[in-house]
Amino acid sequence: MRRTTQVLLALALLALPAPARAQAPPPELIGALMKELSATPEQAQGAAGALFGLAKTRLKPQEFAQVAGAVPGMDALLKAAPAVEPAKKSGTDSLLQAAAGAVGMGRLASVAGSFGKLGLKPELATKAVPILVNHVAKSGGAEIAKLLAGALK
């Protein structure tokens, strides 16, 4: 009887849905970023996280919730982005942002420090944006992709 109870409990636990936060990032998104950026999986996840993090700061919470809903594993991506504290920027971060501005990154220059910490050239952010927007369009629709694109202009 005790064994049966343990088996039933184990099966019940396995049947519970995994929370969205525990999901892994979409492999097709990470693969596309790896290819376009010539990056490792960790770099691709960090780059996506940095850009989604930037979008999170520029969108209303309900708008970002729509974007996040279209990307399984969003929490993991956001956590993969290296932290760059604006109040305590290192000289390297400032140089990376200045260089990013010089190569035409515009408003994306704020992710230059994150890309630099990942070992990626800051200007690669402009190559990553269309990949993120296309992924969101496929998984969440054109309106949500438009939100993301507007936030990452």
Determine the pLDDT at residue 123.
Answer: 92
Q: Where are the domains of the chain?
A: 25-151
Do the beta carbons of residue 122 and residue 101 sit within 8 Å? no
Regions in the chain scoring below 50 on pLDDT: 2, 4-21, 87-89, 96-104
Determine the pLDDT at residue 22.
Answer: 55
Determine the pLDDT at residue 3.
Answer: 52
Show the tokens assigned to 128: 């990553």
Q: Which residue has the tokens 């942002």?
A: 97
Determine the pLDDT at residue 105.
Answer: 57
As a whole number, the mean pLDDT across the chain is 81
Its pTM stands at 0.75
Determine the pLDDT at residue 76.
Answer: 96
pLDDT, tens digit, 9 for 90 and up, residues 34-46: 999 999 999 999 9
